[in-house]
């Protein structure tokens, strides 16, 4: 593995996930060493979100994808607890309902995109329709093949209408998934998360990796970049995500809105 | 003012808000003195919410109402930041849209009630339809008069189908509202919240107090109690709310769900 690895693949790169080390921890060699930066960047994010929310000018869509046990729930919990809950909406896309399946696959997604001033967090997303759908042949190949372009069109439309998009793929190794499944099996506080179906899915590990490589190759643009987050170490995963979101909001240079009229001289009556 | 005052009015009491001291701070004489309990109760709430969320058995609806500057936004921010954001949805009910006005007043509210495992927080609610609507004669008296019973029916239906309901009225004095409006006028980080319309509303202070007294008298039940929160002191307000919610979830005695089958012997393959 290389000593340094990009967070975002080059936009013309054919992604091979074996080039990305899920154990990578950047400049840190331990959790303790990263603690100071992680805390600082989380606090920075929480502070920046206040002006972002007040300004109501930008909207931010953050998509999380990963294989089972990849850490989507944990990352969302750790990064966004501390943010004003009035400014964040988390949507978990589960197995589609009969009603949702009777529509195109973007139908259930679109209503959850963020309004101005808001952060929408997707726990899974429309990408499942080229991932689980592909691996399990839920629709014919000629149908899902067209979806890469459709998703790119959809995300570009959102971007062109004022939505900033960040996409995080949480990259863990097959060995780490094994350890996490064992932990869910054995820890009474985690057993409720143990899903026997995850063992079935684990058999398709290689097919999922391949499907993800297509997603990361075909749907990666400057206006909607994929971040391949080394996620074997939860602390590094959370640090990278918090820093990335913080830097993104920072670049928006949000300001508290100015009063529309001269309010300084207004007297508040008793 | 009495040395001690109830948080919940007696269920047969005709509420007179002048009996409730907005400066009341219970057993604490200063913010510093309350700091230890406030922190402990917030942490307890955050911890309890984890099993509540995992169990997916109960749902919790929390309604915030107050006059302008009463502290709804601040209370929601301080009490719920720290809770797993995947388990909380905050809905702010603003001036109804044309589409919403073309339906009954509960139509826009109902879709935001909580699913099992979730906490729904309402920043304003269907109570506005017997508050602002009443004070400004937006519908005839014979229409809004019937709404107390309708609201009671609606909330009882929610309760009988598994939703726990907590309602918080944040009680501030007219003098405190003046100080807060002045602070919004003068503080550059708060000016974006200054709404000239709030000055207009302030003229109706007495009418609003009277409308609130009716709400607190007519819609107060053991299964959906109103809490009159002394809210001149923000720290006491937040302490009372966090403690009340924590105690409510604590009484549910939530448990992590047990695995549906014997998982202990399952071997995770490489």
- Tell me how many domains chain B contains: 1
Tokens of B49: 């919410």
Mutate to test the interface with B, among A81, A111, A173 (most CBs of B within 10 A): A81
- To the nearest whole angstrom, how far is the Cα of B13 from the nearest Cα of chain A? 30
- To the nearest whole angstrom, how far is the Cα of B11 from the nearest Cα of chain A? 32
pLDDT at residue A160 in the model: 97
Question: How far apart are the C-alpha atoms of B48 and B254, rounded to whole Å?
Answer: 8
Which of these ranges, A56-60, A251-255, B190-194, B208-212, has the smallest mean pLDDT? B190-194
* Partner residue opposite A182 with nearest CB, options B191, B192, B268: B268
**A257: in domain:** no
Chain B residues whose beta carbon lies within 8 Å of the beta carbon of residue A92? 86
Are residues B226 and B11 in contact, defined by beta-carbon separation less than 8 angstroms?
Answer: no
CB of B183 within 8 Å of a chain A CB? The answer is: no
Average pLDDT over residues B219-241: 98
- To the nearest whole angstrom, how far is the Cα of B83 from the nearest Cα of chain A? 6
Q: Strand, coil or helix: what is B104? A: coil
State what percent of residues in chain A have pLDDT above 90: 93
Q: What is the pLDDT of residues B155-186, one digit of tens each?
A: 999 999 999 999 999 999 999 999 999 999 99
Question: How far apart are the C-alpha atoms of B183 and B202, rounded to whole Å?
Answer: 16
Residues in contact with B52: Cβ distance below 8 Å, sequence separation at least 6, in sequence order: B58, B60, B87, B117, B119, B249, B252, B254
Give phi and psi for B262, each to the nearest 5: -75, 105
CATH of the domain at B154: 3.40.50.300
Question: How far apart are the C-alpha atoms of A117 and B251, rounded to whole Å?
Answer: 36
When pLDDT is cut at 50, 70 and 90, the band that residue B13 belongs to is very high
Question: How far apart are the C-alpha atoms of B214 and A170, rounded to whole Å?
Answer: 53
Closest CA to A171 of A48, A1, A19, A13: A19
Question: How far apart are the C-alpha atoms of A68 and A197, rounded to whole Å?
Answer: 10
Strands B59-66 and B163-171: parallel
Taking 70 as the threshold, does the pLDDT of residue A1 lie above it? Answer: no
Chain B residues whose beta carbon lies within 8 Å of the beta carbon of residue A256? 188-189, 191-192
pLDDT at residue A264 in the model: 87
Chain B residues whose beta carbon lies within 8 Å of the beta carbon of residue A196? 261, 263, 266
**ipTM metric:** 0.91
Average pLDDT over residues B202-208: 98
Q: Give the structural domain span for B130.
A: 17-250
Taking 80 as the threshold, does the pLDDT of residue A141 lie above it? Answer: yes
State the average pLDDT for chain A. 96
Which of these ranges, A131-135, B98-102, B105-109, B261-265, has the smallest mean pLDDT? B261-265
Mutate to test the interface with A, among B74, B85, B200 (most CBs of A within 10 A): B85
When pLDDT is cut at 50, 70 and 90, the band that residue B3 belongs to is low
Average pLDDT over residues B16-30: 96
Average pLDDT over residues B67-76: 97
Q: Is the pTM of this model over 0.90?
A: yes
Query: What count of CB pairs under 8 Å joins A to B?
Result: 110
Are residues B45 and B245 in contact, defined by beta-carbon separation less than 8 angstroms?
Answer: yes
When pLDDT is cut at 50, 70 and 90, the band that residue A260 belongs to is confident
When pLDDT is cut at 50, 70 and 90, the band that residue A261 belongs to is confident
Taking 60 as the threshold, does the pLDDT of residue B2 lie above it? Answer: no
Cβ contact (<8 Å) for B85 and A92? Answer: no
* Partner residue opposite A77 with nearest CB, options B84, B196, B269: B84
State what percent of residues in chain B have pLDDT above 90: 93
For B175, the closest chain A residue by CA position comes to: A270
* Partner residue opposite A83 with nearest CB, options B76, B81, B256: B81
Cβ contact (<8 Å) for B269 and A85? Answer: no
**A62: in domain:** yes
Question: How far apart are the C-alpha atoms of B18 and B71, rounded to whole Å?
Answer: 19
Beta bridge partners of B88: B119
**A7: in domain:** no
Tokens of A144: 């899902």
Cβ contact (<8 Å) for B256 and A192? Answer: yes
Beta bridge partners of A227: A168
Tokens of A102: 């009777």
Cβ contact (<8 Å) for A196 and B266? Answer: yes
**Cα angle: A206, vertex A207, A211; to 5 degrees:** 120
Average pLDDT over residues A216-232: 98
When pLDDT is cut at 50, 70 and 90, the band that residue B261 belongs to is confident
Give phi and psi for A119, each to the nearest 5: -110, 120
CB of A269 within 8 Å of a chain B CB? The answer is: yes
Closest CA to B79 of B117, B53, B105, B49: B49
pLDDT at residue B260 in the model: 76
pLDDT at residue A231 in the model: 98
Are residues A120 and A93 in contact, defined by beta-carbon separation less than 8 angstroms?
Answer: no
- To the nearest whole angstrom, how far is the Cα of A10 from the nearest Cα of chain B? 32
Cβ atoms within 10 A of the Cβ of A36, count?
9
Average pLDDT over residues A166-194: 96
- To the nearest whole angstrom, how far is the Cα of B173 from the nearest Cα of chain A? 11
Cβ contact (<8 Å) for B85 and A84? Answer: no
When pLDDT is cut at 50, 70 and 90, the band that residue A262 belongs to is confident
Average pLDDT over residues B95-118: 97
Mutate to test the interface with B, among A192, A242, A245 (most CBs of B within 10 A): A192
- To the nearest whole angstrom, how far is the Cα of A215 from the nearest Cα of chain B? 25
* Partner residue opposite A86 with nearest CB, options B90, B196, B256: B90
The DSSP symbol for B67 reads S
**B78: in domain:** yes
Taking 70 as the threshold, does the pLDDT of residue A3 lie above it? Answer: no
**B45: in domain:** yes
pLDDT at residue B259 in the model: 84
**B258: in domain:** no
CB of A191 within 8 Å of a chain B CB? The answer is: yes
CB of A240 within 8 Å of a chain B CB? The answer is: no
**A173: in domain:** yes
pLDDT at residue B4 in the model: 78
Element (H, E) at B216: helix B205-218
For A53, the closest chain B residue by CA position comes to: B192
- To the nearest whole angstrom, how far is the Cα of B208 from the nearest Cα of chain A? 16
Chain A residues whose beta carbon lies within 8 Å of the beta carbon of residue B259? 191-192, 194
**A267: in domain:** no
Cβ contact (<8 Å) for B86 and A84? Answer: no
Sheet holding B226-230, edge to edge: B88-92, B119-123, B59-66, B163-171, B226-230
């Amino acid at each position: 593995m290389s000593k340094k690895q990009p967070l975002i693949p080059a936009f013309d790169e054919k992604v091979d996930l074996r080039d990305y080390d899920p154990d990578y921890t950047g400049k840190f060699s331990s959790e303790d060493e990263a603690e100071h930066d992680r805390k600082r960047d989380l606090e920075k994010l929480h502070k920046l979100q206040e002006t972002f929310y007040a300004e109501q000018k930008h909207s931010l869509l953050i998509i999380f994808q990963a294989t089972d046990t990849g850490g989507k729930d944990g990352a969302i919990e750790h990064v966004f607890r501390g943010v004003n809950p009035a400014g964040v909406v988390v949507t978990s896309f589960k197995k589609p309902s009969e009603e949702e399946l009777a529509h195109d696959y973007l139908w259930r997604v679109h209503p959850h995109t963020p309004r101005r001033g808001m952060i929408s967090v997707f726990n899974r997303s429309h990408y499942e329709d080229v991932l689980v759908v592909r691996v399990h042949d839920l629709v014919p190949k000629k149908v899902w093949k067209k979806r890469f372009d459709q998703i790119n069109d959809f995300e570009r439309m959102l971007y062109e209408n004022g939505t900033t998009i960040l996409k995080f793929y949480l990259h863990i190794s097959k060995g780490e998934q094994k350890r996490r499944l064992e932990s869910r099996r054995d820890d009474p506080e985690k057993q409720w998360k143990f899903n026997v179906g995850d063992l079935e899915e684990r058999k398709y590990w290689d097919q999922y990796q391949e499907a993800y490589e297509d997603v990361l190759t075909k749907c990666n643009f400057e206006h909607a970049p994929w971040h391949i987050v080394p996620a074997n170490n939860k602390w590094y995963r959370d640090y990278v995500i918090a820093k990335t979101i913080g830097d993104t909001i920072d670049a928006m240079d949000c300001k508290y809105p100015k009063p529309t009229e001269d309010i300084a001289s207004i007297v508040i009556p008793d």
